Amino acid sequence: MIIRDRPSGFRLFLMLRGSVLPRILPALTINIIIATLVTLSHGDLFELKITLTTIPFTLIGLPISIFLGFRNNAAYDRFWEARKLWGELVLKSRNLSRQCRSLIQDPRPAVASNGTGDIRIRMVYRTIAFAHALKNLLRNQDNGKEFQQWLTAQELTESGRFRNKPDFLMQCMGADLQRCLQEKRIDSCLAANIDNTLSALTSAAAACERIRNTPIPFSYTLLLHRTAYIYCFLLPFGLVDSIGFMTPFVVAVVAYTFFGLDALGDEIEEPFGTESNDLPLDAICRAIEIDLRESIHDTHIPPAMLPVNYCLT
Amino acid sequence: MIIRDRPSGFRLFLMLRGSVLPRILPALTINIIIATLVTLSHGDLFELKITLTTIPFTLIGLPISIFLGFRNNAAYDRFWEARKLWGELVLKSRNLSRQCRSLIQDPRPAVASNGTGDIRIRMVYRTIAFAHALKNLLRNQDNGKEFQQWLTAQELTESGRFRNKPDFLMQCMGADLQRCLQEKRIDSCLAANIDNTLSALTSAAAACERIRNTPIPFSYTLLLHRTAYIYCFLLPFGLVDSIGFMTPFVVAVVAYTFFGLDALGDEIEEPFGTESNDLPLDAICRAIEIDLRESIHDTHIPPAMLPVNYCLT
Amino acid sequence: MIIRDRPSGFRLFLMLRGSVLPRILPALTINIIIATLVTLSHGDLFELKITLTTIPFTLIGLPISIFLGFRNNAAYDRFWEARKLWGELVLKSRNLSRQCRSLIQDPRPAVASNGTGDIRIRMVYRTIAFAHALKNLLRNQDNGKEFQQWLTAQELTESGRFRNKPDFLMQCMGADLQRCLQEKRIDSCLAANIDNTLSALTSAAAACERIRNTPIPFSYTLLLHRTAYIYCFLLPFGLVDSIGFMTPFVVAVVAYTFFGLDALGDEIEEPFGTESNDLPLDAICRAIEIDLRESIHDTHIPPAMLPVNYCLT
Amino acid sequence: MIIRDRPSGFRLFLMLRGSVLPRILPALTINIIIATLVTLSHGDLFELKITLTTIPFTLIGLPISIFLGFRNNAAYDRFWEARKLWGELVLKSRNLSRQCRSLIQDPRPAVASNGTGDIRIRMVYRTIAFAHALKNLLRNQDNGKEFQQWLTAQELTESGRFRNKPDFLMQCMGADLQRCLQEKRIDSCLAANIDNTLSALTSAAAACERIRNTPIPFSYTLLLHRTAYIYCFLLPFGLVDSIGFMTPFVVAVVAYTFFGLDALGDEIEEPFGTESNDLPLDAICRAIEIDLRESIHDTHIPPAMLPVNYCLT
Amino acid sequence: MIIRDRPSGFRLFLMLRGSVLPRILPALTINIIIATLVTLSHGDLFELKITLTTIPFTLIGLPISIFLGFRNNAAYDRFWEARKLWGELVLKSRNLSRQCRSLIQDPRPAVASNGTGDIRIRMVYRTIAFAHALKNLLRNQDNGKEFQQWLTAQELTESGRFRNKPDFLMQCMGADLQRCLQEKRIDSCLAANIDNTLSALTSAAAACERIRNTPIPFSYTLLLHRTAYIYCFLLPFGLVDSIGFMTPFVVAVVAYTFFGLDALGDEIEEPFGTESNDLPLDAICRAIEIDLRESIHDTHIPPAMLPVNYCLT
């Protein structure tokens, strides 16, 4: 995610970091070259005058624009829903920590120094691991040390058998909740609340997987790409008779808008990647880790992540 | 569902798999032929010059575009709501499995080898059957082995009497929950949580049936089809005087956009079919099966489904 | 609700069933007659040339289109919310039946042959009556045999005193739930779940009443009607100079679109009526009846309703 | 709220009741006068020809229209959310009544004749008072007899100390719930359900206050007013050269649309007032009163409110 | 937040308070100067006639407008969601107060004079502190006296160790709830309800942090700024030939609309700041304080905040 203030004045046009320009540069360049050639030949193609006026572009520009708007809405909704789900993870993690510490009875205070022998500490550590495991699942990354350090040796071994690590952690939490119930360390009404929080975490995780696994129907994307490309590549023929040598410049602006919106839609449609407009999952996982470890008075807590080169991953 | 990366360059225009083109080809071809005839006759129809200009198309193009946008929004919302509901099924299935195993008391661990004599294993198997039964109900398919293998002989017999198989399975789950309550194997507060999960599964199933049984009001679809067809078939008369021999080409692009958006709306409006842009219900059912069987340490678990020819069913 | 496949080819233009055409025919005919007269007189009105061009129509067409889109969105949202609410009724009815049969303790199995002396059967029958009563309330119809047959003689008498029959049935269900609690036939935690389902049914019913009693603000409808009518009736004056004898035809197409969208908005804005695009409440009530009676092993269950002349009421 | 059928034919253009016309008449009249003057002077202002064409209006008309659409959407969402909240109040009131009567144990039946000594009757009466108090709070009206008659003398005195009467009533209900718990007249699981209903009523009330206290950001309204006014007042200069003496008429239609949409947005943005398009809070409060008093077999119940001059307040 | 009535007549154009004008004045001035220079030179730039017509502006104006609409929608949704979350804080605070006072058993009435030794008073005071702490967190302000006065000396000391003060307060509330459970002063079913309210407060706080920390993807903002600026700065070249000396005026109106919408989007996108269109968090915190202190019969309650110079902070 790009974190920077809006630049003022001409710097607005010069900055590249955070711009979609590098991504669409090849298509844009080809388009401008075509526009220049068309301008130089006054719209003749192999001795044949292409009799396009701006009228077809007015007619077709409308549905393309509305359609681009529709797709950007859909893509942004996915992005924002994904962000909400991770916000949900943050808060349900905090809630789970609070509930474990205040609703499970234990003579000792719930502090990190009790170690993983204390069921409450184990629950908190597993919640941190849950966030990391989900992030790695969504990004197709391996579960490294940041995930493994929160598990006991036995859990680590057992986890290998499971395709879906976050689901495995939920199973462990369910088992520990059962243990608390059997040892009468929690009343069933309050256990129901903790069970609800576990369900909410599962729910957020499953919804993230849904967004990741179900793109916007491919035919939409294809139809939009095709019409936008045809529109921009034909545009010089329509403009050259009325605006002459300004054609390549105008085509560049139009193509920048259409290709840019199209590419941005592509990018935020899949919000869990590591591109510059994707969600900063690393930073969110770190925030969960800090909140939860603070709540159990843990030590050696790492600082919050800061943007590197305006970009938070 | 089509799973493929966006093709680059000219391949974008050549691919057919995932394109809506085959579907609209007949109408598109007729339209192009008409446009060609109109161009050759310079807009005369039986000696009569059709005096259309582009002005009517500008006037009528706007409401049609906005209306196409409205319908595509409505259709996409149905698609996405359907996807959410199946995501809900995935997660509530996981939750039900976790709850049954952690909240129902039993001295044995909850593993598949206990067989269907263990109420917890039975609940998990029935949840898998529930997903398959719902899929078959939505797709008007018969319930074959993939559904039957999860039921006991008695359930299988009894299920024949019910029109709505998923509902029948819910009844069985309710009965088993009652049994657990009577045998004091679960506290009523925790049983209430399991009951809520059962209600959530029923809810997702009923919402899927709602989407399947209630199309977007037919009059909308009819009005849109008619105006889009009239627009595209008259368009050559309006264009021929200003853009001459380019008319068929421009008409083809405009018609491709309008017919394509219209056909895509038709397709994703009914997201439970087996067309290429419909939801991959087979793959989701398989995912539920894998998750739930992993959670009870079952063996011979099948692998996740992969796209065939870029298409996941 | 119209249930039919999209017709192909020219039949698309010939079908009337499900089309909004009959509804807007009077206004459309007058509009076409005016357009013809204007064409014949070349835009002169009582010797005065009306100097309209297409420019005002371009200017005013845009806000009208956006406004039509806004109103259709609002109307469709009402339609779809209403459909969701009845979907909610279907599923909460199933849930209530499952909960009554599995959570209320009784030595006998919960089957219809126990008669209305069995509190669980009474609850299920009342739920069926609830759906019918709500349908009749929303459609301003009398509660006939389909409602009365599910009530005991005493309930039938008492119901006369209540303006709001569905609310009365909820009161009876509440009283029966109280009886179960007093007789210790249900644990209070589980009774709370049944109480939640009752609340959800009340909620769906009240939301239906809200939609029925609160139209889209009348001033919107009026403003939209007026501008759309002025637009279409003046259009011939703007077109006649540029497209000549095609004027009546183009005006017909434009008016068909605007009047059609306007009339469709009117129709689906009130989704509980008995017009062809309204919700099939009879069929939904029947579906609830079938599901609930199947669940208590009742006999003589009627079949599901089928569309008559493509129309499901 | 205006309750009337859509008028047909020419009466559509003559009705004033429910039309936004009276509200925008001053601005509209000035605009038409200016347009007439411009037409008479052929667009010259103090000997200077204002060289506007329709082009700037096409360019600026688009963002204004989209922006008007955005604001109308936002205003209608507020209106509809407010209506939903009052629908919520209706149903939660019914639920609260049902819950109090069926979940609080008492040997007597819960009928109005028990008087306010019966805690259940007191709860029902307070719910009626709650609706009236909220209505008066939202409309800045005094709490008259319709509010006071439902309170005991002691409550009436104590209520004077509170700025927020609905909140005060909630406090009283909370205190009574506590009393029931202490006297063991209700199980805590069921009391939790009543507490949830109280929270839902508080929630609906607070959301109404939110809508009332937070307008759409003022800068939006200001920007929209300014551009719409500039647009309409300059429009005659752009039209006069092409449509001549029709200018004032066209300007009137355009201004009616823009000013009308703008004024309607203003009106429904604040849905709790007493203007003709505002919500009929009096009628809703009356409906709550009828439902709740019927449920406790009260007598002398007033009839439902009917529209006066097509208007329900 | 600006609280003022819509001004009428010409005062509409003169007011600055609440207008976005001061914010966009620099860019607007430069744009008008350019337009004036272009008009004076008749569109020649260094002896070269810039051959722009209005056609490119029609083509590009559409996607920019739709895109501006999209961004304003997204920004307004953030603003309104933020307002809803603070509304949620208000009501959950009231609920928490009601629940603490009515569900926690104590022989004394729950009044402020008991002091912070009474767990219920402590809970209420902490809720007030929670609102202030959240406000300060969102606005990057220090926690001054308004926060500190509600905490006991011990809490104040301990709070220093926590990065996230609202979260710390939630921990304290959880600990107090645990104490009540251990001392059997609250039934576990009712404690579950209080726990739900605590979770809801955490949820609202975390959602506010989400909005604060996740801007609309920067590339969108950048793309929109760039195209809007290019559009407006080139516009004089396109208009000068057709409207002559009116060019600077028309450019000013168009730029005012585009820059204004753009700047408004920027402003309400971050609703927690202290600019004039941001949310009045100070006033909301004060309202929470008044409601809660009234509910525990506290004295010396401050009055509600009033707008200063039409602006509520």
* SS3 of A281-303: HHHHHHHHHHHHHHHCCCCCCCC
- Looking at the fold, whether C143 and C47 belong to one and the same domain comes out as no
Angle at B120 between CA B114 and CA B121, to 5 degrees: 50
Nearest by CB: A203 against B1, B91, B193: B91
Task: Look at residue E138 and tell me if it is in a domain.
Answer: yes
CA pair distance A180, A182, nearest whole angstrom: 5
- Grouping H, G, I as helix, E, B as strand and the rest as coil, residue B2 is strand
Assigned token pair, B105: 């008391």
**Long-range contacts formed by D110-115: CB under 8 A, 24+ apart:** D110/D296, D111/D296, D111/D297, D112/D293, D112/D296, D112/D297, D112/D298, D112/D299, D113/D297
Residue B12 reports pLDDT greater than 80: no
List all residues of chain B from 6 to 35 with a beta carbon under 8 Å from chain A. Answer: 6, 12-13, 15, 18-20
For residue E145, name the pLDDT band (cuts at 50, 70, 90). Answer: confident
- Look up residue E10 and give its amino acid: F
Nearest to B144 by CA among B277, B8, B276, B282: B282
Q: Dihedral sign, CA of A180, A182, A186, A191?
A: positive
- Grouping H, G, I as helix, E, B as strand and the rest as coil, residue A16 is coil
- Looking at the fold, whether C101 and C239 belong to one and the same domain comes out as no
Residues of C in contact with D13 (CB under 8 A): 226, 229
Nearest by CB: B189 against A177, A188, A221: A188
Nearest to B116 by CA among B191, B186, B176, B195: B176
Across chain A, mean pLDDT equals: 87
Task: Render C260-282 in DSSP notation, one character per residue.
Answer: HHHHHHHHHHSTTSSSTTS--HH
Average pLDDT over residues A18-26: 82
CA pair distance B205, B190, nearest whole angstrom: 23
Residue E102 reports pLDDT greater than 90: no
C49 touches chain D (CB under 8 A): no
Across chain E, mean pLDDT equals: 87
Nearest to D226 by CA among E253, C62, E267: E253
CA distances from E20 to D81, E259, E277 (A): 28, 9, 9
- Look up residue B170 and give its amino acid: M
Distance from the A180 Cα atom to the nearest Cα atom in chain E, whole angstroms: 15
Q: Is the Cβ–Cβ distance between C198 and C96 less than 8 Å?
A: yes
Q: Is the Cβ–Cβ distance between D127 and D95 less than 8 Å?
A: no
Q: Which residue has the tokens 């007191």?
A: D122
- Looking at the fold, whether D126 and D201 belong to one and the same domain comes out as yes
CA–centroid distance for E64 within its chain: 26
Subunit partners of chain D (3 or more CB pairs within 8 A) = C, E
Residue of A68, A197, A199, A259 to mutate when probing chain B, most B C-beta within 10 A: A199
pLDDT in tens, A103-120: 888 888 888 888 888 999
- Look up residue B303 and give its amino acid: P
For residue E267, name the pLDDT band (cuts at 50, 70, 90). Answer: confident
* Contact check, Cβ <8 Å, A219/B2: yes
CA pair distance A278, A271, nearest whole angstrom: 5
Task: Look at residue E7 and tell me if it is in a domain.
Answer: no
Per DSSP (E only), the strands in chain C are 44-45, 48-49
Please tell me the predicted confidence (pLDDT) of residue C241.
85
Assigned token pair, E103: 């569900």
Average pLDDT over residues C74-84: 92
Q: Which one has a higher pLDDT value, C46 or E223?
A: E223
Please tell me the predicted confidence (pLDDT) of residue B8.
67
Assigned token pair, C266: 């009117």
Beta bridge partners of C48: C45
Please tell me the predicted confidence (pLDDT) of residue A181.
87
Low-confidence ranges of chain D (pLDDT < 70): 6-10, 43-47
Angle between helices B119-139 and B55-103 (to 10 degrees): 160
Does the interface ipTM go beyond 0.85?
A: yes
Task: Look at residue C249 and tell me if it is in a domain.
Answer: yes
Task: Look at residue B180 and tell me if it is in a domain.
Answer: yes
For residue B47, name the pLDDT band (cuts at 50, 70, 90). Answer: low
A295 touches chain E (CB under 8 A): yes
Residues of C in contact with B163 (CB under 8 A): 290, 294, 304
CA pair distance A60, E66, nearest whole angstrom: 15
Residue C188 reports pLDDT greater than 90: no
Residue of B8, B58, B64, B65 to mutate when probing chain A, most A C-beta within 10 A: B65
- Looking at the fold, whether A151 and A38 belong to one and the same domain comes out as no
How many domains is chain C built from? 2
Query: In sequence order, what are the residues at sequence separation of 6 or more whose Cβ sits closer than 8 angstroms to the Cβ of residue D162?
Result: D168, E294
Q: Which domain holds residue E201?
A: 87-214+281-295
Residue A43 reports pLDDT greater than 80: no
CA distances from E81 to A84, E77, E87 (A): 12, 6, 10
- Looking at the fold, whether C163 and C138 belong to one and the same domain comes out as yes
Task: Render chain E in DSSP notation, one character per residue.
Answer: -B--PPP-TTHHHH--TT-SHHHHHHHHHHHHHHHHHHHHTTTEETTEE----SHHHHHHHHHHHHHHHHHHHHHHHHHHHHHHHHHHHHHHHHHHHHHHHHHS--SS---GGG-TTSHHHHHHHHHHHHHHHHHHHHTT----HHHHTTS-HHHHHHHTT-S-HHHHHHHHHHHHHHHHHHTT-S-HHHHHHHHHHHHHHHHHHHHHHHHHH--S-HHHHHHHHHHHHHHHHHHHHHHHHHHGGGHHHHHHHHHHHHHHHHHHHHHHHSTTSSSTTS--HHHHHHHHHHHHHHHTT-SSPPPPP--BTTB--
Residues of E in contact with A106 (CB under 8 A): none
* Contact check, Cβ <8 Å, A206/B253: no
Residues of D in contact with C182 (CB under 8 A): 105
CA pair distance A203, A85, nearest whole angstrom: 9
CA pair distance A158, A142, nearest whole angstrom: 16
Residue E220 reports pLDDT greater than 80: yes
For residue C137, name the pLDDT band (cuts at 50, 70, 90). Answer: very high
Task: Look at residue E306 and tell me if it is in a domain.
Answer: no
Task: Look at residue C162 and tell me if it is in a domain.
Answer: yes
* Contact check, Cβ <8 Å, C105/B217: no
Nearest to A77 by CA among A216, A201, A206: A216
E162 touches chain D (CB under 8 A): no
- Look up residue B87 and give its amino acid: G
Residues of E in contact with A89 (CB under 8 A): none
For residue B9, name the pLDDT band (cuts at 50, 70, 90). Answer: low
- Of A33-47, B189-203, D118-132, the range with the lowest mean pLDDT is A33-47
Please tell me the predicted confidence (pLDDT) of residue A142.
85
Residue C83 phi, psi (nearest 5): -65, -40
Task: Look at residue B312 and tell me if it is in a domain.
Answer: no
Q: Which one has a higher pLDDT value, C27 or E51?
A: C27
* Contact check, Cβ <8 Å, A69/E69: yes
For C191, the closest chain D residue by CA position comes to: D190
* Percent above pLDDT 70 for chain A: 96
- Looking at the fold, whether C120 and C206 belong to one and the same domain comes out as yes
pLDDT in tens, C193-251: 898 899 899 999 999 999 998 888 888 888 888 888 889 989 998 888 888 888 999 99
Please tell me the predicted confidence (pLDDT) of residue A8.
67
Please tell me the predicted confidence (pLDDT) of residue C89.
93
Residue E83 phi, psi (nearest 5): -65, -40
DSSP structure class, residue C245: G
CA pair distance A127, D253, nearest whole angstrom: 63
E175 touches chain A (CB under 8 A): yes
Task: Look at residue D190 and tell me if it is in a domain.
Answer: yes
Nearest by CB: E206 against A54, A65, A90: A90
B85 touches chain C (CB under 8 A): no
pLDDT in tens, A74-90: 999 999 999 999 999 99
Angle at A241 between CA A237 and CA A247, to 5 degrees: 65
Q: Dihedral sign, CA of A172, A173, A174, A176?
A: positive
- Looking at the fold, whether A113 and A96 belong to one and the same domain comes out as yes
Please tell me the predicted confidence (pLDDT) of residue D43.
65
- What DSSP element (H or E) covers D290? helix D281-295
CA pair distance A277, B254, nearest whole angstrom: 33
Residue C15 phi, psi (nearest 5): -75, 140
Distance from the E203 Cα atom to the nearest Cα atom in chain D, whole angstroms: 15
Assigned token pair, C28: 């459309």
Q: Which one has a higher pLDDT value, C153 or A13?
A: C153
Average pLDDT over residues E254-269: 88
Residues of E in contact with D59 (CB under 8 A): 54, 57-58, 61, 235, 254
Distance from the D305 Cα atom to the nearest Cα atom in chain E, whole angstroms: 31
Q: Is the Cβ–Cβ distance between E121 and E295 less than 8 Å?
A: no
* Contact check, Cβ <8 Å, C254/B60: yes
B181 touches chain A (CB under 8 A): no
- Look up residue B198 and give its amino acid: L
Average pLDDT over residues E250-273: 89
Please tell me the predicted confidence (pLDDT) of residue E128.
94
CA pair distance D288, A94, nearest whole angstrom: 40
Nearest by CB: A243 against E52, E60, E217: E52
Residues of B in contact with C62 (CB under 8 A): 62
E111 touches chain D (CB under 8 A): no
* Contact check, Cβ <8 Å, E195/A193: yes
- Looking at the fold, whether C230 and C260 belong to one and the same domain comes out as yes
For residue C84, name the pLDDT band (cuts at 50, 70, 90). Answer: very high
Q: Is the Cβ–Cβ distance between C81 and C207 less than 8 Å?
A: yes
- Looking at the fold, whether E119 and E209 belong to one and the same domain comes out as yes
- Looking at the fold, whether C242 and C261 belong to one and the same domain comes out as yes
Beta bridge partners of B2: B311
- Grouping H, G, I as helix, E, B as strand and the rest as coil, residue A64 is helix
Assigned token pair, B222: 């009819």
D294 touches chain C (CB under 8 A): yes
- Looking at the fold, whether B290 and B169 belong to one and the same domain comes out as yes
Residue E83 reports pLDDT greater than 90: yes
Residues of C in contact with B64 (CB under 8 A): 257
pLDDT in tens, E19-42: 788 888 888 999 999 999 988 887
- Looking at the fold, whether E243 and E115 belong to one and the same domain comes out as no
Q: Dihedral sign, CA of A160, A161, A166, A170?
A: negative
* Percent above pLDDT 90 for chain B: 27
Looking at A115-187, list the stretches that DSSP marks H as alpha helix, in order from N- to C-terminal side: 119-139, 145-148, 153-159, 165-182
For E236, the closest chain D residue by CA position comes to: D56
Distance from the C162 Cα atom to the nearest Cα atom in chain D, whole angstroms: 7
Residue C34 reports pLDDT greater than 80: yes
Other Cβ atoms less than 10 A from the Cβ of D199: the count is: 23
* Contact check, Cβ <8 Å, B294/A53: no
Please tell me the predicted confidence (pLDDT) of residue D7.
67
CA pair distance D187, D196, nearest whole angstrom: 14
Q: Which one has a higher pLDDT value, B172 or E8?
A: B172
Nearest to A206 by CA among B305, B84, B194, B205: B84
Q: Is the Cβ–Cβ distance between E227 and E216 less than 8 Å?
A: no
Distance from the A9 Cα atom to the nearest Cα atom in chain E, whole angstroms: 8
